Chains A and B, each alone.
Chain A
Amino acid sequence: MYADYAYLIVALPVLAFVLCIFAGWHLPKGGGFLTVLATFAGFILSYGILTEIYPDKIVHQSMPWFANFNVGILIDPLALVMLLMVTFVCTLIHTYALGYMDGDPGGARYFAEAGLFTAAMLGLVYADNLLQLFIFWELVGVCSYLLIGFWYRKPSAAAAAKKAFLTTRVGDVLFLAAIILLYNNLASLNIALKPGEYLLQFPVIYAHIAQIPPAQLTLIALGLLGGAVGKSGQFPLHVWLPDAMEGPTTVSAMIHAATMVTAGVYLVARMFPLFYAAPHGLTAVAAVGAFTALFAATMGLTAFDIKRVLAFSTVSQLGFMMAGLGAGAAVGTVAVGVSIFHLIGHSFFKALLFLCAGSVIHAVNTNDMREMGGVGKYMKWTMYTMLIGSLSLAGFPFFTGFFSKDEIIVIAYEYGTLINFLPYIFLVLAAVLTAIYSFRMWFSVFTGTARSDYSKHESPWVMLGPLVVLAVFAFGFGLAAQGSFYEYLDTNFEHYSIDFEELAVIGGHAVEGEHGAEGAAEAESGAKEGPGEPWYIQILPIIIALGGILTAGLFYWDKIKKFDPDQVTGDKDPIRWMLLKGYYQHEILTAWFAETVVYGSSLICNMIDIKIVDGWLNWLSAWVLGFAGHVRKVQTGVIQNYVAALVLGIVILVIVITLAKEVGLA
């Protein structure tokens, strides 16, 4: 019965958007409570659907849209957990925003855009076809643009919004190309569609992957990966994500940590069978993910802006999820469960960390950790909830992050034994750095003495409440949900007619090791334990977490401080500066590449452009407009001329048609 109202999950936030944008300024708090209620209603509905379809049913509704496209809702385990997570986290963040955005003159606009964002994200998650997913995907991008640039009078915010929009656009073009390619391939198969089936529906795509030529599959997979890389801030399209922190902290928490950036991971998970069948598809995913995980973690180590640390951490953790999906090449569909588990867990603790950071920033009025210190004395609740978030992020035993990240590292190990150990090594190093940077952040914010004169007060309860709830989940979700979560997600692709063994053969997984087909079969059986890693692999993550936290403590916790980071590396240490400067990406990409190379070559192009291309175009447009000017003069306003034109028109038509008939054109 809840499933019949599934459309409301998107419709209600849209309604909230409409109300807020048109009537928001007449309502208390900009109508924010409408967005909160709409999102919470979505959560209730999603939960109701869970109770109805758990554990072995799915919801699929569809109606024709136009031509060969439909609009539809598909709620399978994968979509359902995402729905639950998005509605839950967004409800908490919207609630928090009631306090955080209080007094901002743009409050109504904020809640309107936040409502629209929520709707778009939810629509993306339960779309039943790729086109609809793409439309919501773009809408999410637009909302992200609007919200990053929320304080649009601030030049850096406007620039960051533009950067985010343009960078993700690169990925989106690839995504669109992949959709067109996929559609053409499916259309050329001449599939006999049953009534209510459409080419781009996921079940239809899944059922016909095996018939698409493998080379095409790889192209499609790479295009989709391009979209995912853009949206999920993976290397090399990650540059927009740290800058996106110019928006309000709630936006960073909601869009750029917990929900929107996970859309890329979700896309790869959603299209997992296609990636699995595409030769080298998952290898590419694993490579991109593992590299990003380490690359971003190193930058997180040196950033001073608390939100940028968290942003790099997000990029890094998304890399973990991608690498986890990539490891599916070795372990089959188990990878989807593992990766999505980390996605969900991450959204809890990362939202928590961002909201804590927001709480600190709200009180301290700076983002710079060098100006904080000792904040814990005044903000007990924030301090302890953030401790939980940091422990979870660092992978401290029995916290959520421990279970989820550990599992990704374990399947990366299996990927290593079968294919290549590089991703595993990268992920382990990234995990060490994760523990270090998260506690570097926590120690330097909350411990020690105040390094500047900031205002000392705890945030209001409307903000602390969500923190506490999120902290509970950041701690307990992993422990509580671990087993049943994997089992549930493992059933995801059983609802469709997919022959994973056949796909494994196409994707070349069976050739690369005897585990390939076995891995696929294992996916079917739903077994989650790997085929027995050595004990040290199992225990390693615990050592990593504890060691990393201890290392951070030795540098940054005043009680056990042994080293001064400045003295260890020295002020001029090139590695430190390289990390601090983010591998000189700004210098390389913007200053050197964009401003020197591109600008320099653009000067040359400009010459060519002005002289030749523009000259020609100007000539053309001048000609067109000049011609248009003449066209206009035909209109003399004298009726005699008009009638003459009429007669002339008929005469010319007679002549032309007669001639055409003579020469056999008609």
Chain B
Amino acid sequence: MDFGHYAPLWGEALLTVLAVLVVLLGSLMKNSGRLMGYLSLAGLAVAFGLVASNLTLAKPVIFFFDTISVDGLSQFFKAVFLIVSLLVVIASLSKYTGKGAEDYYALLLFATVGMMVVASSIDLVTLFVGFELASLSTYALAAFDKSKKNLEAAMKYFIFGSVSSAFMLFGFSLLYGMAGSTRLADIAAASLANFGPATLVALLFVIAGFAFKMALVPFHMWAPDTYEGAPALVSALLAAGSKKMGFAAAFRVMLIALIALRMEWYLAFAILAAITMTLGNLAACWQNNVRRILAYSSIAQAGYIAIGFVVVGAAYGAAPVTTFNGVAVPAAQLGIAGALLLVLGHALMKTGAFIGTALVASTVSGKGQDNDPDDISNYAGLARRAPITAFCMLIFMFALAGIPPTAGYIGKFVLFSSAIYSGLVWLAVLAILNSALSLVYYLRIISYMYLKEPAGPKISEPKGYVAALVLALIAVVWIGVFPQGFIDWALQAAAVLLPQ
């Protein structure tokens, strides 16, 4: 067997083997939690290195009977997933070190592999398998600390997730029935329009399944409860990582398999995007629980990212509208690239923000059941209690609101300008108004951290958390200050989805 041929998939293979190994070694050795943490970290770092060394491919590499494709797009999403997992593991090293920690790391690795498989899938069955691998692992992770809140969060997540999976699978089966194949390319080649209303039902069931992961309104209801109730580091993985898996899947299925139904999903995503960002931001204004604020903020962000679909739907195949750095770029490509940049930016900002909440919550957890560790009052005077955390949170909040020079700004800039170029001015205006509205709750957190009297004594900031926070901070600012390389990268990844 020619192993070199499979070089682009070594990352996934390594993580799978490592996950099994972590479970095995962990049950054999005593007190190996910390060691397993470092092992996972090393494995993820190597996998990231493998992906990073092969970021842009001139041509897609296809494996396993046309079910797995390694191309610019898959590499982009894999890089995002690996970055999120890396940051979460780094932070976890300060929390999950004791008994049973090996399960945590193994589940995290499996979830990562699942997400990576989804990023590469060009076949509905493979995609579903990856989806479920990631989902099942995260269901277990959401309950990992076994508190009452955890269990409730995991239960809601699981039930909602199962129903969504059922819908998605039903949509897939309809597509299979119509096209006679589960390969995305074959579905694209079949003339789906002949099947009348069934196509619309299939399309919307598939969208509902993806929208559950992406947390688009009204498929978002699990998200606030789960993000609030799950262990904070798992929330980081869910909001920043597995949510993006929904986008990875949706981009491929919509743009490759279902491009013939472009006008239908264009409309569906236009409605979903508009409702999602508006409701997400509105609901966030009223929350007092910081993790719920972040949950609604990430729902709103998903609404922004979904604009990418609308832009592609509106401008698919249209002539280039603008030059970026001397290269002519069509609006559709710009739209996908903007969505990808926001995916990347949001992954970094949200991971960081949730790690920040984990740090704060860990200092007040001794206060009993009724006292909510994530309540915003715990953030009062954080700037003096935990200066590094507060500063990082400050930048993440600004980045989430889209203030330059941060990753959040660059993503929104590219995405919203693509919306304007493709004639969706109403959507761009709505998105910008929403960004302004979002400042209400981001600034509220900042004002608590910087303007209020400290709510307690100085906190010693655990090294793992701080390392993850600072890394995320550097990345967020770096992308904001030197965006061109990332924009080019996203444009290249976007080109995979468009006819050459």
Which A residues lie at the B interface, using CB under 8 A? 64-68, 193, 195, 624-625, 627-629, 631-632, 634-635, 637, 639, 641-643, 645-646, 648-650, 653-654, 656-658, 660-661, 665-666
Contacts and interface: CB of A to CB of B under 8 A. Distances in A.
A645 B218 contact: yes
A628 B324 CA distance: 39
Number of chain B interface residues as a range: 35 or more
Contacts of B197: 658
Given A639-B160, A643-B159, A653 B204 contact: yes
- Is the contact region of chain A dominated by helix, strand, or loop, or is it mixed? helix
B224 A635 contact: yes
B277 to A, nearest CB: 13
Contacts of A193: 326
A632 B225 CA distance: 12
Contacts of A627: 282
16 contacts: A65-B483, A66-B325, A66-B483, A67-B413, A67-B484, A624-B282, A625-B286, A627-B282, A628-B283, A634-B221, A646-B167, A646-B218, A646-B221, A648-B218, A656-B271, A657-B204
A639 B204 contact: no
A433 B167 CA distance: 86
Contact of A646 (B163, B201, B326, B484): B163
B285 A625 contact: yes
Nearest to A658: B200
B104 interface: no
Contacts of A64: 325, 484
Q: Closest 10 interchain pairs by CB?
A: A642-B221, A628-B282, A649-B218, A66-B483, A666-B263, A66-B484, A645-B218, A631-B283, A666-B267, A64-B484
Interface in B69-105: none
A631 B282 contact: yes
Contacts of A68: 323-325
Given A635-B221, A646-B208, A628 B200 contact: no
A259 B332 CA distance: 47
A637 B271 contact: no
Contacts of B326: 193, 195
Given A661-B263, A666-B267, 15 more contacts: A65-B482, A66-B325, A66-B487, A67-B413, A68-B325, A627-B282, A628-B282, A628-B286, A632-B286, A639-B160, A643-B159, A654-B204, A665-B267, A666-B264, A666-B266
Contacts of A65: 482-484
B164 interface: yes
Given A67-B325, A654-B200, A654-B201, A642 B160 contact: yes
Given A68-B323, A68-B324, A635-B224, A650 B205 contact: yes
Interface string B277-299: 00100110111000000000000
Nearest to A636: B221
B219 A635 contact: no
Nearest to A634: B221
Given A66-B483, A628-B283, A639 B155 contact: yes
Nearest to B280: A631
B271 A653 contact: yes
B122 to A, nearest CB: 26
B279 A631 contact: yes
Given A625-B286, A646-B221, A67 B208 contact: no
A646 to B, nearest CB: 6
A230 B212 CA distance: 53
A641 B225 CA distance: 13
A657 B264 CA distance: 7
Contact of B222 (A624, A628, A642, A650): A642
A526 B325 CA distance: 38
A138 to B, nearest CB: 12
Contact of A645 (B221, B282, B285, B323): B221
B410 interface: yes
A297 B155 CA distance: 78
Contacts of A629: 286
Contacts of B287: 632
B452 interface: no
Counting chain B CB atoms within 10 Å of each CB, the highest count among A624, A634, A641, A649 belongs to: A649
Contacts of B282: 624-625, 627-628, 631
Contacts of B205: 650
